[in-house]
Amino acid sequence: MSSKVKPAIVGFVQHLQHAGFEVFCPRLPTCDEAKRLTADMFADAQVVRDQVISLIDKSREVIMLLHSYGGAVGTEAAKGLSASERATRGLKGGIVHLIYMCGFMLQVGECVGGASLPRPDPDPVESDAATSTTFLCEPPIELF
């Protein structure tokens, strides 16, 4: 991270604020009593995406902390907003890390309910040294 200003974090509020981070935790429509019966994961993702865009439009770097269902929401919200993708277009700011904490990292078209179904024995963890990306395989219980 090139910025001297700490990146903004979307996630766990109080402990991170005490550590000096600016933290945002948008209220999801599926958690709103008035909207929960008509809202879906895509509505939740749009709220998170809007929050992230409001930060990166100010050239901020963002770390997203994604817990449980928030993994699916955050993954959807983050599409096209990485700092590296923005840099190729000459734009500053963007998402610099996605951190999944017991969260769902779904394949395109997969749902949270389907992700928890039994799977075959997991393959080994794979790393891509070129991108510093680690891919964890399913099922998570055996890995954790």
pLDDT at 91 (0 to 100): 96
Mean pLDDT by 10 residues, the chain (144 residues): 72 85 91 84 95 97 91 93 97 94 74 58 53 53 50
Bridge pairing between strands 23-24 and 61-67:
unpaired
* CB contact at 8 A, 57 and 86: no
pLDDT at 1 (0 to 100): 53
pLDDT at 103 (0 to 100): 75
pLDDT at 121 (0 to 100): 46
Helix axes 70-77 and 41-56, enclosed angle (nearest 10): 50
